Structure 1
């Protein structure tokens, strides 16, 4: 009996107590450690830091700034600075030219300037005429010339290549059957130097055409001299020209109204035409003010009053207007005129 109890006691001692389901065990549970191990300190790597800084800088450059890439912003900034600087330069130059013009005391007739500018005239106007496409406008006008043709203020012969030489029957500019082409050509300019350049150009361009004359003469007093130019056509000599051409000439004449009146007197009354391509005042007052302010210095340098009212000159001349066109803000004028029938 005692032995049995001792055995049972020994068995309890070695057998762990298992709590029953739903019964809380009184044995204390082991507590979890509350302290965390200290974090491992990272070693400082300067190379890695520099790499990160370069990477972050590159990322910042690649990201758009308000939708516009930095390179575009830089380009726009430089462009704006350049344009503003150039506009400032133009304004300063404009003010200098205005001040200089106010101090000038010029005569109305400044055509003597062409004697000195003749050698460089073509080079001086080439760029501006190309930009304004004046070559095509010259061609459209001059190709209308027919019969015995007089070109006044011929300058350095900038119209030579557009003449249709050789009189014949065909369709004219109005698609009517008639005489087309030039029977003869007479070139007149007040500057002997410019007439010489025109003659040299023409002889190199059309050496086979012999019915041509060159005269240094004032357009306001030019006479009809066709002897030896018409050939055996049966036409009456010494009376009228069939076509008179003038391009960019009214600006340099001391009496443009009187000159046009005289040209109307030597133009064939029925079918004769006066063809004009001129430059002068604009449609717009702001541009006219600029032309007026710079007119004295421009006339002193180039012999040209570029602020003349071409329309008023034509109306005062008494010639009849067949056609009128304007381009370039109204500063380029084209006229087809004829003598007014009484």
Structure 2
């Protein structure tokens, strides 16, 4: 029996459901495992032209260091040349190049001394020397000896307070002061400075040029390469002894090693005059620096500088100090550094002491 096909007519809403389910089943994809996306490859950013600002941010430190080094070098070169050419001088000959300094240059006599002293005010300020002199003055205590006192440029920086045993934890002040120089003309100006100082100088006797033991404040014409005068009879006796110690608590010398014939011998004399153990020798000197170019300039202008000022400013100060230490028993180096970086190592600060002798068994 044949079966006839009939067309089934469905409502419109049922027909939509059947067609949607059929289409969804036909297009449904089989189930797939989730796979992580591969990492994205790093792509280099597009290059942009470098600007001055970006260049500065990347290299400001080396650029700044190079600029400062060039500035310091130029600053020092200009100062060195200006100091050498301030006054015309004769061309140095062989005798000048090998001359032995005496500390008494012919150009620094009489009225020239005051002119020379005034000309140092501005250079010492911008070179930082005045600040270093102030530091040295604060370290002076007890019986003080200043060698190569010259025109007395350190005198205004000393703490002119009498020693007080009750103030043990503070600077003791100055018990006595002895200024020594080989140039009598320079001591005339140093004496004027002492007279003008507004300090408790009335507590000292009037300063004179003689080495009278009764004067606690005195200026003496003497040579540092010869035995040095002892301090006045105001020194505190050595423990266990009734005699005063004939040595100094503080010995100061600023820019003196360039003007003596035998610097090592001068340092040996300073060591013989300082109190062993507690005493200090403080040196502020000018000599060879860190850079060969700077040392070459010093060598180039050294004869002209010596012919005017009697000072060889190109000496190896550190080498001279170590030579004196090797030749002097118990002499020790406490501190050595080169302040004022813009001077490129030509300024040397050194502190020395003489150790106590070993106890005899």
Question: How high is the TM-score relative to the length of structure 1?
Answer: 0.65
Q: 1:188 aligns to what?
A: 180
Stretch moving more, 216-225 or 229-238: 229-238
Say whether the 8 Å CA contact 2:277–2:355 is kept in structure 1.
no
Say whether the 8 Å CA contact 1:109–1:252 is kept in structure 2.
yes
Question: What secondary structure, in the 3-state scheme, does the structure 1 residue paired with 2:301 have?
Answer: helix
Shift of 1:143: 1.0
CA spacing shift, 1:298–1:218, aligned 2, 3 Å: same
Shift of 1:314: 0.6
Match of 1:320 among 325, 329, 332: 332
| Cα displacement string for residues 307-337 of structure 1 (whole angstroms, at most 9, x for unaligned residues) | 0011011101113111111031000010111
Q: 1:101 aligns to what?
A: 92
| Cα displacement string for residues 114-173 of structure 1 (whole angstroms, at most 9, x for unaligned residues) | 4354232211211210111211111112211111000000010001111112112478xx
CA spacing shift, 1:332–1:182, aligned 2, 3 Å: same
Shift of 1:109: 1.8
How many Å separate the matches in 2 of 1:334 and 1:192?
A: 27
Say whether the 8 Å CA contact 2:237–2:244 is kept in structure 1.
no
Question: What secondary structure, in the 3-state scheme, does the structure 1 residue paired with 2:293 have?
Answer: helix
How many Å separate the matches in 2 of 1:99 and 1:188?
A: 31
Q: 2:288 aligns to what?
A: 281
Structure 1: gaps of 5 or more residues = 1-86
Q: 2:346 aligns to what?
A: 331
Match of 1:115 among 109, 118, 140: 109
Stretch moving more, 189-198 or 235-244: 235-244
CA spacing shift, 1:163–1:305, aligned 2, 3 Å: same
Q: Does 1:134 align with 2:139?
A: no
Say whether the 8 Å CA contact 2:289–2:295 is kept in structure 1.
yes
Shift of 1:209: 4.0
How many Å separate the matches in 1 of 2:228 and 2:297?
A: 38
Shift of 1:103: 5.5
How many Å separate the matches in 1 of 2:297 and 2:277?
A: 41
Q: 2:248 aligns to what?
A: 241
Q: Does 1:167 align with 2:163?
A: yes
Shift of 1:294: 0.8
Shift of 1:226: 2.9
Q: 1:308 aligns to what?
A: 315
Say whether the 8 Å CA contact 1:224–1:240 is kept in structure 2.
no
CA spacing shift, 1:277–1:309, aligned 2, 3 Å: same
Q: 1:255 aligns to what?
A: 262
Equivalenced residues, count: 248
Question: What secondary structure, in the 3-state scheme, does the structure 1 residue paired with 2:268 have?
Answer: helix
CA spacing shift, 1:307–1:157, aligned 2, 3 Å: same
Say whether the 8 Å CA contact 1:212–1:229 is kept in structure 2.
no
How many Å separate the matches in 1 of 2:266 and 2:109?
A: 21
Shift of 1:200: 1.7
Stretch moving more, 221-230 or 179-188: 221-230
Q: Which has the larger radius of gyration?
A: 1
Say whether the 8 Å CA contact 2:143–2:248 is kept in structure 1.
yes
Q: 2:139 aligns to what?
A: 144
Q: Does 1:219 align with 2:224?
A: yes
Mapping 1:292-303, distance limit 5 Å: 292-303=299-310
Structure 2: gaps of 5 or more residues = 1-77, 205-215, 326-330
Q: Does 1:291 align with 2:282?
A: no
CA spacing shift, 1:314–1:235, aligned 2, 3 Å: farther
CA spacing shift, 1:286–1:99, aligned 2, 3 Å: farther
Mapping 1:35-114, distance limit 5 Å: 100-102=91-93, 105=96, 107-113=99-105, 114=108
RMSD: 3.0
How many Å separate the matches in 1 of 2:278 and 2:345?
A: 28
